[in-house]
């Protein structure tokens, strides 16, 4: 006898398509560039169509009605997944937290902004166990309110409403997160091939948390932050504290925010491990069709919340787990704790000689009291001197703790939404927060051509004009909507000192631009972009093309006081293939770093191609190097880069690491030099197809037009302050 998935005893059938992930057509060449990351989330996968604008739809939502329904949902326990103490608040907080908690500062990827938790691998991470139930509990609300509210917004709203129902005054809430329709292809979650593999592979030295591989912000595959049982599952609160500090810092949280989030997150709800973890069925993505997307099926649940198994850790942290109070501190610091095992076999801590009245009641049977517990991460708050001092400050001032937690929770759940201009809804707080990267509204009452005339008369080179604008704008990341030219933060620390910005050149140009700003009323940010646009127009004219680069007024100039310098540090570019520069020699190939940058900037493969080819002939290489400058007309916006790259009268010779000569086949003379970032546009079959388009005799004008369009997209990528943003990117 065979099971339903076995081939035994079944008839063969013609099957000509690749219908499983393991049958990837490029699997023969795993080192190839994954250009698919530039073309994900396009209109073909979106069932709502090209004209659907979620940010407009959500403004039509009856916010009050939805939040009323959400409050009612919290206490409407379902037989198929009974609520702890008849309240789903703890589950919904965990849903929101784990949606937001994947965010990492290094590249801005992860976070709650896309509803990605619906899809693999996140929907099947061990740390996300049973959150499939939370999402199904929310389905009636999604069904009712439809396209006017995204799953991404629902996840975070559910956490907010849960805290309010437990008695916390939250800091605020914004709508505006737009759903994706398939898993992100760009996010590197780690190289491990098994869930919860030992941490060692992520670190140069697991005893030194700061050696964790960048940009990762979790200690093991399938976890949000740290292993709650201890480092590699071995309890040691001080070691755990050090990992907690690193993981939270990598998602932009300081020690006080970390302690507040830990305490506030564990003030309500419970962990689940009252049963046999081995009895659970497979995760959602590994389960068969009859489960309908449910995973971790528990044959021993018997309709009782008491019997749930998720993490394997069992118990509540506080005496009143459905009330936001100071109970977490009362128990953690009021008792001594000893190491024990949960019914599911997980390491956890239990209080010594706890008073019966301090024991929470059973989540199903209120006549029974259960011992509370703490994880290794909780004990870290008590053992680590810095965390302990912060907790003692919280205990001395409960209102201060509540405010700190509410603010940290708001930051956690909104960190990847970008500037405040993207916030929507009645719950948006008035206060401007430094982590939102505030930028004042810039002046628009000036004459663009007057500014350009002053720039043209200032004696700056084409390289200085274009590179300054590019370096200012290239910091934009669509992952968390940070960076970009608006704000002119290239004038401020730390950006003004980044090696990739050529500080000496930058300083010279900025002094000129600041005077022009003073003389004309235009912001420095606008002057920077106008300078780049002017350079492009001059280069196009020199090549015989009259073009006007579109320009959008109104950028503002941020100040040091508006800038969280520490959170900008990780945004420093380590390479910029568009300017043929790398800070150091890295394990990652230069062309992969180019691809990563292009994806963060929101570029398509054709846009990446045309921009790089144009930047080369404009002579914008870092330090004025000649690699990839395949032209004898430097400074003219021509398609020469592509013409010479695809010319079969040339051959290519390696001359060292990341160094090549382009040699004339007949004479043997070296015509040009190049790097891998240049030659990949001729060697990669997909990129070569684009390069050939731009090398054609009939596409010179198209090249210029496409370059200007892609350049404008980069310059305007962060203009979220403009209502009709689609018209400027």
Closest CA to 573 of 477, 699, 681: 477
Nearest 5°: the CA angle 710, 712, 714 is: 75
β-sheet bridge partners, residue 498: none
Q: Give the C-alpha separation, 536 to 539, whole Å.
A: 5
> How far, in Å, CA of 453 to CA of 45, rounded?
46
Give the whole-angstrom CA distance, residue 569 versus residue 507: 19
Which candidate, 695, 600, 581, places its Cα nearest to that of 639? 695
Separation CA 662–CA 653 (nearest Å): 6
The 3 state secondary structure assigned to 563-595 is: CCHHHHHHHCCCEEHHHCEECCCCCCCHHHHHH
Distance CA 182, CA 180 (A): 6
Distance CA 600, CA 643 (A): 28
The encoded tokens of residue 65 equal: 């009605």
Determine whether 658 is exposed, middle or buried from the number of CB atoms within 10 Å of its CB (0-12, 13-18, 19+).
middle
- Classify 414 in phi/psi space as left (phi over 0), alpha (psi -120 to 50) or beta: alpha
How many other C-beta atoms are found inside a 10 Å radius of the C-beta of residue 1? Answer: 5
Stated as kind and residue range, the H or E segment containing 412 is helix 398-414
* CA–CA separation, 304 and 286 (whole Å): 25
Orientation of helix 398-414 relative to helix 89-100, angle to 10°: 50
* Matching residue, tokens 């004898």: 632
Q: Residue 266, Cβ neighbours under 10 Å: how many?
A: 23
The answer to whether the CB of 95 falls within 8 A of the CB of 154 is: no
**Integer CA distances (angstroms), 297 to 96, 195, 276, 627, in order:** 22, 18, 12, 58
Concerning whether 98 is annotated as a catalytic residue, the answer is yes
Tokens of 271: 């962990």
| Catalytic option among 63, 87, 98, 358 | 98
Question: Residue 192 in 3-state DSSP?
Answer: coil
- The C-alpha atoms of residue 331 and residue 175 are separated, in whole angstroms, by 36
Nearest to 274 by CA among 313, 332, 246: 313
Phi, psi of 309 (to 5 degrees): -130, 120
Whole-angstrom distance, CA of residue 372 vs CA of residue 484: 48
- The backbone torsions φ and ψ at residue 633, rounded to the nearest 5 degrees and listed phi first, read -125, 50
Tokens linked to 55: 């940010």
CA–CA gap between residue 23 and residue 79 (Å, rounded):
41
Cα angle at 235 between 233 and 236, to 5 degrees?
A: 130
Burial track 9-29 (b if 16+ CB lie within 10 A, e otherwise): eeeeeeeeeeeeeeeeeeeee
Helix (H) or strand (E) holding 160: helix 151-165
Decide: 303 and 78 in contact? Cβ < 8 Å. no
Output the CA angle 187-191-189, nearest 5 degrees: 25
Please state whether beta strands 575-576 and 337-341 pair in parallel, antiparallel, or not at all (unpaired): unpaired
- Catalytic positions, please? 98
């Amino acid at each position: 006898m065979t099971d339903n998935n076995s081939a035994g005893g079944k008839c063969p059938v013609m099957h000509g398509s690749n219908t499983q992930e393991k049958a990837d057509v490029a699997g023969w060449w795993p080192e190839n560039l994954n250009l698919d990351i530039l073309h994900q989330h396009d209109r073909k996968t979106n069932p709502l169509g090209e004209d659907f604008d979620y940010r407009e739809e959500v403004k039509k939502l009856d916010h009050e009605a939805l939040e009323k329904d959400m409050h009612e949902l919290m206490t409407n326990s379902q037989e198929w997944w009974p609520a702890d103490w008849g309240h789903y608040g703890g589950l919904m907080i965990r849903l929101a937290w784990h949606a937001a908690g994947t965010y990492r500062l290094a590249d801005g990827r992860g976070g709650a902004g896309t509803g990605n938790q619906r899809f693999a691998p996140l929907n099947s991470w061990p740390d996300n166990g049973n959150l499939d139930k939370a999402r199904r509990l929310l389905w009636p609300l999604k069904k009712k309110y439809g396209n006017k509210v995204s799953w991404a917004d629902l996840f975070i709203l559910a956490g907010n409403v849960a805290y309010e129902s437990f008695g916390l005054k939250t800091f605020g809430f914004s709508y505006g997160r737009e759903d994706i329709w398939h898993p992100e292809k760009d996010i590197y979650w780690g190289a491990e091939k098994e869930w919860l593999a030992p941490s060692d592979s992520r670190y140069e030295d697991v005893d030194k948390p700061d050696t964790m591989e960048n940009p990762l912000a979790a200690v093991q595959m399938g976890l949000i932050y740290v292993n709650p049982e201890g480092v590699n599952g071995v309890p040691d609160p001080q070691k755990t504290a050090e990992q907690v500090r690193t993981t939270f810092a990598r998602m932009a949280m300081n020690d006080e925010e970390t302690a507040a989030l830990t305490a506030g997150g564990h003030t309500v709800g419970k962990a689940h491990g009252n049963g046999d973890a081995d009895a659970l069925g497979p995760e959602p993505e590994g389960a068969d069709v009859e489960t309908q997307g449910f995973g971790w099926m528990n044959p021993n649940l018997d309709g009782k919340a008491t019997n749930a198994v998720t993490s394997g850790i069992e118990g509540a942290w506080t005496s009143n787990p459905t009330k936001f109070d100071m109970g977490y501190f009362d128990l953690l610091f009021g008792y001594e704790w000893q190491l024990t095992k949960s019914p599911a076999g997980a390491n956890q801590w239990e209080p010594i000689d706890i008073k019966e009245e301090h024991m929470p009641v059973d989540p199903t049977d209120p006549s029974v009291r259960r011992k509370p517990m703490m994880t290794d991460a909780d004990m870290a708050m008590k053992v680590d001197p810095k965390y302990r001092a912060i907790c003692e400050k919280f205990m001395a001032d409960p209102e201060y703790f509540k405010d700190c937690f509410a603010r940290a929770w708001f930051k956690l759940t909104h960190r990847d939404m970008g500037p405040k201009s993207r916030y929507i809804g009645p719950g948006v707080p008035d206060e401007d927060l430094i982590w939102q990267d505030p930028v004042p509204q810039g002046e628009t009452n000036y004459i663009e051509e007057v500014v350009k005339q002053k720039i043209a008369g200032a004696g700056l080179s084409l390289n200085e004009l274009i590179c300054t604008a590019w370096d200012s704008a290239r910091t934009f990341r669509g992952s968390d909507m940070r960076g970009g030219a608006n704000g002119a933060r290239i004038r401020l620390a730390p950006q003004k000192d980044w090696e990739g910005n050529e500080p000496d050149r930058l300083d010279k140009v900025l002094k000129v631009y600041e005077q022009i700003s003073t003389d004309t009323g235009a912001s420095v940010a606008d002057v920077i972009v106008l300078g780049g646009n002017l350079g492009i127009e001059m280069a196009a004219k020199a090549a015989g093309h009259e073009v006007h680069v579109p320009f959008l007024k109104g950028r503002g100039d941020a100040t040091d006081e508006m800038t969280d310098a520490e959170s900008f540090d990780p945004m420093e570019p380590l390479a910029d293939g568009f300017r043929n520069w790398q800070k150091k020699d890295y394990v990652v190939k230069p062309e992969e770093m180019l691809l990563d940058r292009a994806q963060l900037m929101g570029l398509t493969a054709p846009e990446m191609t045309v921009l790089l080819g144009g930047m080369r002939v404009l002579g914008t290489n870092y330090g004025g190097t000649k690699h990839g400058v395949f032209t004898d007309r430097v400074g003219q916006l021509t398609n020469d880069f592509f013409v010479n790259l695809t010319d079969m009268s040339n051959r290519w010779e390696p001359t060292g690491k990341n160094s090549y000569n382009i040699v004339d086949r007949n004479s043997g003379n070296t015509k040009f030099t190049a790097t891998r970032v240049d030659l990949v546009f001729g060697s990669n079959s997909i990129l070569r197809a684009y390069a050939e388009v731009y090398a054609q005799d009939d596409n010179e004008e198209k090249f210029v037009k496409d370059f200007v369009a892609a350049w404008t997209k980069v310059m305007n990528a962060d203009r979220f302050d403009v209502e009709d943003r689609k018209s400027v990117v």
